[in-house]
Amino acid sequence: MVLSKKRIMLTGGAGFLGSFVTEKLKARGCKNVFIPTEQECDLTKPSAVEAAFKDAGNLFSSTPNSQLKTLNSRPPVDVVIHLAAKVGGIGANRENPGKFFYDNLMMGAQLMEHARLSGVEKFVALGTICAYPKLAPVPFKEEDLWNGYPEETNAPYGLAKKMLLVQSQAYRQQYGFNSIFLLPVNLYGPGDNFKPGSSHVIPALIKKCVEAVKSGAKEITVWGTGKATREFLYVEDCAEAIVLATEKYNSPEPVNIGAGFEISIKDLVELIAKLTGFKGKLVWDASQPDGQPRRMLDTSRAAKEFGFKASTDFETGLKKTIDWYRSVVA
Protein backbone atom coordinates (compact mmCIF):
# COMPACT_ATOMS: atom_id res chain seq x y z
CA MET A 1 0.00 0.00 0.00
CA VAL A 2 1.42 3.39 -1.03
CA LEU A 3 0.24 5.54 1.85
CA SER A 4 1.03 8.87 0.20
CA LYS A 5 -1.90 8.20 -2.17
CA LYS A 6 -4.36 7.31 0.59
CA ARG A 7 -6.80 9.34 2.66
CA ILE A 8 -6.13 8.36 6.28
CA MET A 9 -8.14 8.80 9.47
CA LEU A 10 -5.83 8.64 12.49
CA THR A 11 -7.69 8.45 15.79
CA GLY A 12 -5.58 9.48 18.75
CA GLY A 13 -3.34 11.33 16.32
CA ALA A 14 -2.87 14.23 18.72
CA GLY A 15 -1.77 11.94 21.56
CA PHE A 16 1.55 10.50 22.70
CA LEU A 17 1.92 7.68 20.16
CA GLY A 18 -0.25 9.43 17.58
CA SER A 19 2.04 12.43 17.27
CA PHE A 20 4.91 10.13 16.27
CA VAL A 21 2.73 8.19 13.82
CA THR A 22 1.70 11.52 12.28
CA GLU A 23 5.36 12.40 11.72
CA LYS A 24 6.08 8.99 10.18
CA LEU A 25 3.16 9.46 7.76
CA LYS A 26 4.36 12.93 6.83
CA ALA A 27 7.84 11.53 6.16
CA ARG A 28 6.24 9.15 3.66
CA GLY A 29 4.58 12.01 1.82
CA CYS A 30 1.10 11.62 3.32
CA LYS A 31 -0.73 14.92 2.95
CA ASN A 32 -4.28 13.67 3.52
CA VAL A 33 -4.47 12.72 7.20
CA PHE A 34 -7.58 13.52 9.25
CA ILE A 35 -7.24 13.52 13.06
CA PRO A 36 -10.51 13.65 15.02
CA THR A 37 -9.74 15.31 18.36
CA GLU A 38 -11.06 14.04 21.69
CA GLN A 39 -12.44 17.49 22.54
CA GLU A 40 -14.53 17.66 19.36
CA CYS A 41 -15.36 14.00 18.86
CA ASP A 42 -16.38 11.49 21.55
CA LEU A 43 -15.80 8.23 19.68
CA THR A 44 -17.82 6.26 22.25
CA LYS A 45 -20.96 7.81 20.68
CA PRO A 46 -22.27 6.48 17.33
CA SER A 47 -23.26 9.96 16.15
CA ALA A 48 -19.74 11.25 16.77
CA VAL A 49 -18.18 8.37 14.82
CA GLU A 50 -20.51 9.05 11.90
CA ALA A 51 -19.70 12.78 12.08
CA ALA A 52 -15.96 12.03 12.09
CA PHE A 53 -16.21 10.09 8.82
CA LYS A 54 -18.36 12.84 7.31
CA ASP A 55 -15.88 15.52 8.39
CA ALA A 56 -13.00 13.50 6.92
CA GLY A 57 -14.84 13.13 3.63
CA ASN A 58 -15.59 16.85 3.49
CA LEU A 59 -11.95 17.68 4.21
CA PHE A 60 -10.55 15.34 1.59
CA SER A 61 -13.09 16.34 -1.07
CA SER A 62 -11.95 19.96 -0.78
CA THR A 63 -8.27 19.15 -1.44
CA PRO A 64 -6.69 20.96 -4.41
CA ASN A 65 -5.64 17.60 -5.84
CA SER A 66 -8.58 16.59 -8.04
CA GLN A 67 -7.55 12.93 -7.88
CA LEU A 68 -8.43 12.90 -4.18
CA LYS A 69 -11.91 14.39 -4.52
CA THR A 70 -14.55 12.20 -2.89
CA LEU A 71 -16.81 10.69 -5.52
CA ASN A 72 -20.14 9.04 -4.83
CA SER A 73 -18.54 5.67 -5.54
CA ARG A 74 -15.58 6.23 -3.24
CA PRO A 75 -15.60 5.98 0.58
CA PRO A 76 -14.79 9.12 2.59
CA VAL A 77 -11.63 7.47 3.99
CA ASP A 78 -9.27 4.83 2.57
CA VAL A 79 -7.46 3.80 5.76
CA VAL A 80 -8.31 4.03 9.46
CA ILE A 81 -5.49 3.75 12.00
CA HIS A 82 -7.15 3.47 15.40
CA LEU A 83 -4.85 4.58 18.23
CA ALA A 84 -7.34 6.39 20.48
CA ALA A 85 -7.73 4.73 23.87
CA LYS A 86 -8.60 5.33 27.50
CA VAL A 87 -5.47 4.07 29.21
CA GLY A 88 -3.32 4.43 32.34
CA GLY A 89 -1.07 2.63 34.79
CA ILE A 90 -2.00 0.12 37.50
CA GLY A 91 -3.60 2.76 39.73
CA ALA A 92 -5.76 4.20 36.95
CA ASN A 93 -6.85 0.71 35.90
CA ARG A 94 -7.86 -0.18 39.47
CA GLU A 95 -9.89 3.02 39.83
CA ASN A 96 -11.59 2.96 36.39
CA PRO A 97 -12.21 -0.67 35.34
CA GLY A 98 -15.73 0.02 34.08
CA LYS A 99 -14.84 3.18 32.19
CA PHE A 100 -11.73 1.66 30.63
CA PHE A 101 -13.74 -1.37 29.50
CA TYR A 102 -16.72 0.54 28.12
CA ASP A 103 -14.90 3.39 26.42
CA ASN A 104 -12.32 1.21 24.69
CA LEU A 105 -14.87 -1.40 23.64
CA MET A 106 -17.32 1.14 22.23
CA MET A 107 -14.70 3.22 20.41
CA GLY A 108 -13.23 0.20 18.66
CA ALA A 109 -16.47 -1.60 17.82
CA GLN A 110 -18.20 1.48 16.42
CA LEU A 111 -15.22 2.74 14.45
CA MET A 112 -14.66 -0.61 12.77
CA GLU A 113 -18.35 -1.09 11.98
CA HIS A 114 -18.65 2.38 10.46
CA ALA A 115 -15.41 1.85 8.54
CA ARG A 116 -16.85 -1.37 7.11
CA LEU A 117 -20.15 0.27 6.17
CA SER A 118 -18.25 3.16 4.57
CA GLY A 119 -16.16 0.86 2.38
CA VAL A 120 -12.82 1.64 4.05
CA GLU A 121 -9.96 -0.22 2.36
CA LYS A 122 -7.98 -1.06 5.51
CA PHE A 123 -8.43 -0.80 9.28
CA VAL A 124 -5.43 -0.91 11.62
CA ALA A 125 -6.43 -1.78 15.19
CA LEU A 126 -4.12 -1.47 18.18
CA GLY A 127 -4.45 -3.89 21.05
CA THR A 128 -2.29 -4.08 24.17
CA ILE A 129 0.08 -6.42 25.94
CA CYS A 130 -2.48 -6.32 28.80
CA ALA A 131 -4.60 -8.69 26.69
CA TYR A 132 -2.22 -11.59 27.33
CA PRO A 133 -2.94 -14.18 30.03
CA LYS A 134 -1.49 -13.34 33.44
CA LEU A 135 0.79 -16.37 33.41
CA ALA A 136 1.53 -16.67 29.69
CA PRO A 137 4.88 -18.35 28.93
CA VAL A 138 7.69 -15.85 28.36
CA PRO A 139 8.31 -14.60 25.73
CA PHE A 140 4.64 -14.07 24.88
CA LYS A 141 3.75 -15.64 21.54
CA GLU A 142 0.67 -14.54 19.60
CA GLU A 143 -0.74 -18.08 19.65
CA ASP A 144 -0.87 -17.95 23.49
CA LEU A 145 -3.21 -14.95 23.52
CA TRP A 146 -6.31 -16.98 24.42
CA ASN A 147 -4.73 -19.44 26.86
CA GLY A 148 -5.86 -17.79 30.10
CA TYR A 149 -7.31 -14.71 31.79
CA PRO A 150 -5.37 -11.41 31.87
CA GLU A 151 -3.79 -9.97 35.01
CA GLU A 152 -6.69 -8.79 37.17
CA THR A 153 -5.83 -5.11 37.64
CA ASN A 154 -5.91 -4.36 33.91
CA ALA A 155 -8.11 -7.19 32.61
CA PRO A 156 -11.12 -4.96 31.73
CA TYR A 157 -8.92 -2.72 29.57
CA GLY A 158 -7.04 -5.65 28.06
CA LEU A 159 -10.20 -7.60 27.21
CA ALA A 160 -11.93 -4.57 25.68
CA LYS A 161 -8.97 -4.06 23.34
CA LYS A 162 -8.83 -7.80 22.65
CA MET A 163 -12.34 -7.63 21.24
CA LEU A 164 -10.89 -5.65 18.34
CA LEU A 165 -9.10 -8.84 17.31
CA VAL A 166 -12.33 -10.82 17.48
CA GLN A 167 -14.13 -8.15 15.45
CA SER A 168 -11.28 -7.90 12.93
CA GLN A 169 -11.23 -11.63 12.27
CA ALA A 170 -15.02 -11.94 12.20
CA TYR A 171 -15.36 -9.06 9.73
CA ARG A 172 -12.63 -10.48 7.53
CA GLN A 173 -14.39 -13.86 7.50
CA GLN A 174 -17.90 -12.59 6.81
CA TYR A 175 -17.35 -9.37 4.86
CA GLY A 176 -13.83 -9.67 3.45
CA PHE A 177 -12.92 -6.58 5.45
CA ASN A 178 -9.17 -5.95 5.67
CA SER A 179 -8.52 -5.28 9.36
CA ILE A 180 -5.22 -6.03 11.09
CA PHE A 181 -4.47 -6.22 14.82
CA LEU A 182 -1.20 -5.14 16.45
CA LEU A 183 -0.15 -5.80 20.06
CA PRO A 184 2.33 -3.17 21.28
CA VAL A 185 4.27 -3.58 24.49
CA ASN A 186 4.59 -0.79 27.11
CA LEU A 187 5.70 2.44 25.42
CA TYR A 188 7.85 5.30 26.67
CA GLY A 189 9.48 8.40 25.25
CA PRO A 190 9.26 12.20 24.92
CA GLY A 191 5.70 13.47 25.26
CA ASP A 192 4.59 10.63 27.54
CA ASN A 193 1.92 11.13 30.20
CA PHE A 194 3.59 12.27 33.43
CA LYS A 195 0.38 12.88 35.43
CA PRO A 196 0.68 11.07 38.80
CA GLY A 197 -2.83 9.62 38.73
CA SER A 198 -2.66 8.00 35.31
CA SER A 199 0.96 7.66 34.21
CA HIS A 200 2.73 4.38 33.49
CA VAL A 201 5.81 3.19 35.35
CA ILE A 202 8.62 4.92 33.39
CA PRO A 203 7.20 8.47 33.41
CA ALA A 204 6.08 8.02 37.03
CA LEU A 205 9.60 7.01 38.08
CA ILE A 206 11.29 9.76 36.05
CA LYS A 207 9.01 12.35 37.64
CA LYS A 208 9.69 11.05 41.16
CA CYS A 209 13.45 10.95 40.67
CA VAL A 210 13.73 14.35 38.98
CA GLU A 211 11.58 15.98 41.66
CA ALA A 212 13.58 14.27 44.41
CA VAL A 213 16.84 15.56 42.96
CA LYS A 214 15.39 19.05 42.68
CA SER A 215 14.03 19.09 46.24
CA GLY A 216 16.95 17.25 47.85
CA ALA A 217 14.71 14.40 49.07
CA LYS A 218 16.57 11.54 50.72
CA GLU A 219 14.26 8.76 49.50
CA ILE A 220 11.48 7.88 47.08
CA THR A 221 8.73 5.26 47.43
CA VAL A 222 8.15 2.77 44.65
CA TRP A 223 5.11 0.52 44.24
CA GLY A 224 5.41 -3.26 44.59
CA THR A 225 8.37 -5.48 45.31
CA GLY A 226 10.50 -4.76 42.25
CA LYS A 227 10.45 -8.41 41.21
CA ALA A 228 8.03 -8.04 38.28
CA THR A 229 9.56 -7.68 34.83
CA ARG A 230 8.54 -5.53 31.89
CA GLU A 231 9.48 -4.89 28.29
CA PHE A 232 9.52 -1.34 26.95
CA LEU A 233 9.46 0.04 23.41
CA TYR A 234 10.57 3.54 22.44
CA VAL A 235 7.53 5.37 21.08
CA GLU A 236 9.15 6.35 17.76
CA ASP A 237 10.00 2.70 17.07
CA CYS A 238 6.37 1.73 17.73
CA ALA A 239 5.17 4.42 15.33
CA GLU A 240 7.44 3.03 12.62
CA ALA A 241 6.09 -0.48 13.24
CA ILE A 242 2.49 0.73 12.87
CA VAL A 243 3.20 2.47 9.59
CA LEU A 244 5.15 -0.52 8.24
CA ALA A 245 2.24 -2.81 9.12
CA THR A 246 -0.22 -0.43 7.46
CA GLU A 247 1.88 -0.56 4.29
CA LYS A 248 2.72 -4.25 4.20
CA TYR A 249 0.60 -6.49 6.46
CA ASN A 250 -2.81 -7.82 5.41
CA SER A 251 -3.40 -11.01 7.41
CA PRO A 252 -5.85 -11.95 10.20
CA GLU A 253 -3.27 -13.11 12.77
CA PRO A 254 -2.33 -10.67 15.56
CA VAL A 255 1.22 -9.32 15.60
CA ASN A 256 3.37 -8.41 18.63
CA ILE A 257 5.16 -5.06 18.49
CA GLY A 258 8.05 -4.86 20.93
CA ALA A 259 11.77 -4.59 21.56
CA GLY A 260 12.33 -8.21 22.59
CA PHE A 261 13.97 -7.67 26.00
CA GLU A 262 12.97 -7.95 29.66
CA ILE A 263 13.99 -5.86 32.67
CA SER A 264 12.93 -6.14 36.32
CA ILE A 265 11.23 -3.16 37.91
CA LYS A 266 14.06 -3.11 40.49
CA ASP A 267 16.68 -2.78 37.76
CA LEU A 268 14.54 -0.22 35.95
CA VAL A 269 14.23 1.98 39.04
CA GLU A 270 17.98 1.79 39.70
CA LEU A 271 18.73 2.71 36.07
CA ILE A 272 16.37 5.71 36.09
CA ALA A 273 17.81 6.82 39.44
CA LYS A 274 21.31 6.68 37.94
CA LEU A 275 20.33 8.56 34.76
CA THR A 276 18.51 11.30 36.70
CA GLY A 277 21.25 11.65 39.32
CA PHE A 278 19.11 10.53 42.26
CA LYS A 279 21.37 8.98 44.92
CA GLY A 280 18.87 8.56 47.74
CA LYS A 281 17.15 5.50 49.18
CA LEU A 282 14.59 3.43 47.25
CA VAL A 283 11.70 2.37 49.51
CA TRP A 284 9.54 -0.47 48.19
CA ASP A 285 5.84 -0.42 49.14
CA ALA A 286 4.95 -4.11 48.94
CA SER A 287 1.33 -3.35 49.89
CA GLN A 288 0.85 -2.05 46.35
CA PRO A 289 0.45 -4.48 43.43
CA ASP A 290 3.24 -5.62 41.12
CA GLY A 291 0.81 -6.25 38.28
CA GLN A 292 1.59 -9.06 35.84
CA PRO A 293 4.60 -11.07 37.08
CA ARG A 294 6.54 -11.03 33.79
CA ARG A 295 6.17 -9.38 30.38
CA MET A 296 8.22 -9.88 27.27
CA LEU A 297 7.10 -10.41 23.68
CA ASP A 298 8.23 -12.74 20.95
CA THR A 299 8.69 -10.22 18.12
CA SER A 300 9.65 -12.64 15.34
CA ARG A 301 6.33 -12.36 13.47
CA ALA A 302 6.67 -8.57 13.01
CA ALA A 303 10.21 -9.05 11.68
CA LYS A 304 9.09 -11.76 9.27
CA GLU A 305 5.85 -10.19 8.04
CA PHE A 306 6.81 -6.54 7.60
CA GLY A 307 10.47 -6.20 8.52
CA PHE A 308 10.12 -4.43 11.86
CA LYS A 309 12.88 -4.51 14.47
CA ALA A 310 13.26 -1.95 17.26
CA SER A 311 16.27 0.30 16.72
CA THR A 312 16.47 2.47 19.85
CA ASP A 313 18.74 1.29 22.66
CA PHE A 314 16.83 1.32 25.97
CA GLU A 315 19.26 3.52 27.89
CA THR A 316 19.44 5.95 24.97
CA GLY A 317 15.64 6.14 24.86
CA LEU A 318 15.46 6.75 28.61
CA LYS A 319 18.00 9.59 28.36
CA LYS A 320 15.95 11.23 25.59
CA THR A 321 12.80 10.91 27.69
CA ILE A 322 14.45 12.34 30.81
CA ASP A 323 15.95 15.23 28.83
CA TRP A 324 12.54 16.01 27.31
CA TYR A 325 10.81 15.91 30.70
CA ARG A 326 13.41 18.22 32.25
CA SER A 327 13.00 20.62 29.34
CA VAL A 328 9.26 20.99 29.91
CA VAL A 329 9.36 21.29 33.72
CA ALA A 330 12.42 23.57 33.91
Can you name the residues that pair with 184 across neighbouring β-strands?
A: 257
157 is catalytic: yes
Are 197 and 260 within 8 A, CB to CB? no
* Choice among 132, 149, 157, 171 that is catalytic: 157
Q: How far apart are CA 211 and CA 6, in angstroms?
A: 45
**Which amino acid appears at position 129 of this protein?**
I
Contacts of 41 (CB under 8 A, 6+ apart): 48, 51, 52
Active site residues: 157
